[in-house]
């Protein structure tokens, strides 16, 4: 048995822009003023080759395409445009024009999380891709398990719980031996079938891993739903980490979240976008 110190979430992928492709398109339609403002001026000021926030730039690009609002006059109906990117994106959030945020996607690995967490996570499907460790294939020769601090402080509870987990582990090892899973000649199809059955004797709190890829609109929705003080403790913990990661990673699209000093919950003035 392995006691999990803390379930973790790590950002493993983020958007990447093709600046020459964007430049080529805007050269044809007349939006180079926006390109120079977002990519060239900001990049030179920071000594970099590209915008420091590709997700925000992609969302702004897609939003401006909808109204051809790269610059005033390109669309006769648009006589004035917001030149500040932060102000433009804040207006996107405030107006609920969330569809343009679906173009920018991030990927996270949730590590040592329970099946309680993953069963809730997989309920989010729109704008989300999921890849979870399969217990049909991965044998449980030990049972990783997380206890929150208030559990660890309860001696009798911990003793009873650890005894129960050890019995489950013993049964997993006994089944593997009884079914001959490690015997020479046992083929993979047989191993898969027996391992698939054996997982029924594992607790729903067993530690596992899942990769979650989601666009910004979906991430915001998941933060608002899952970091709530009313969510289950493990889920709160993980999605407050997601909120903190995204505020640092993409401040123009997540900087509106503010953490409550009493509850720890991240809240925003904007509703669902």
In a domain, 241, yes or no: no
Instruction: Catalytic residue, from 64, 217, 226, 240: name it.
Output: 226
**Structure-block tokens of residue 227:** 């970091």
Is residue 150 located within the same domain as residue 196?
A: yes
> In the listed set 103, 127, 155, which residue is the last one of a domain according to the structure?
103
Is residue 166 located within the same domain as residue 87?
A: no
pTM, two decimals, is: 0.91
Find residue 267's DSSP bridge partners: 258
Cβ atoms of residues 1 and 143 within 8 Å: yes
> In the listed set 179, 201, 223, which residue is the last one of a domain according to the structure?
201
Enclosing domain of residue 32: 15-103
In a domain, 157, yes or no: yes
Residue position matching structure tokens 């569809």: 99
Is residue 30 located within the same domain as residue 97?
A: yes
- 9-47 per-position pLDDT tens digit: 999 999 999 989 999 999 999 999 999 988 876 555 555
In a domain, 259, yes or no: no
Cβ atoms of residues 4 and 145 within 8 Å: yes
In a domain, 108, yes or no: no
Is residue 145 located within the same domain as residue 187?
A: yes
CA distance 270 to 252: 14
Cβ atoms of residues 86 and 59 within 8 Å: no
Does the annotation mark 226 as catalytic? yes
DSSP alpha helix (H) spans, 68-184: 85-95, 115-121, 149-152, 155-178
- 133-151 per-position pLDDT tens digit: 998 888 888 899 999 999 9
């Amino acid at each position: 048995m392995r006691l999990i110190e803390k379930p973790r979430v790590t950002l493993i992928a983020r958007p990447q822009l093709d600046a020459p492709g964007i430049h080529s398109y805007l050269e044809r339609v007349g939006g180079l003023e926006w390109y120079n403002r977002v990519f060239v001026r900001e990049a030179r000021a920071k000594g970099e080759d590209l915008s420091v926030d590709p997700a925000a730039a992609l969302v702004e690009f897609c939003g401006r395409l909808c109204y051809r609002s790269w610059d005033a006059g390109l669309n006769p109906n648009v006589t004035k445009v917001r030149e500040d990117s932060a102000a433009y994106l804040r207006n996107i959030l405030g107006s609920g024009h969330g569809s343009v945020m679906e173009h920018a996607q991030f990927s996270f690995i949730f590590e040592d999380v329970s099946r309680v967490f993953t069963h809730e996570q997989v309920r989010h499907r729109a704008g989300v891709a999921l890849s979870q460790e399969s217990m049909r294939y991965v044998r449980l020769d030990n049972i990783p398990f997380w206890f929150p601090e208030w559990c660890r402080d309860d001696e009798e509870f911990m003793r009873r719980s650890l005894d129960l987990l050890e019995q489950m582990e013993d049964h997993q090892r006994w089944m593997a031996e009884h079914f001959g899973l490690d015997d020479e000649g046992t083929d993979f199809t047989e191993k898969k079938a027996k391992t698939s059955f054996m997982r029924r004797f594992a607790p729903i709190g067993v530690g596992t891993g899942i990769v979650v890829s989601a666009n910004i609109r979906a991430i915001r929705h998941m933060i608002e739903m899952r970091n709530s003080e009313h969510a289950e403790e493990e889920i709160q913990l993980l999605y407050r980490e997601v909120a903190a990661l995204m505020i640092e990673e993409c401040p123009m699209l997540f900087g509106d979240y503010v953490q409550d000093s009493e509850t720890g919950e991240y809240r925003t003035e904007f509703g669902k976008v």
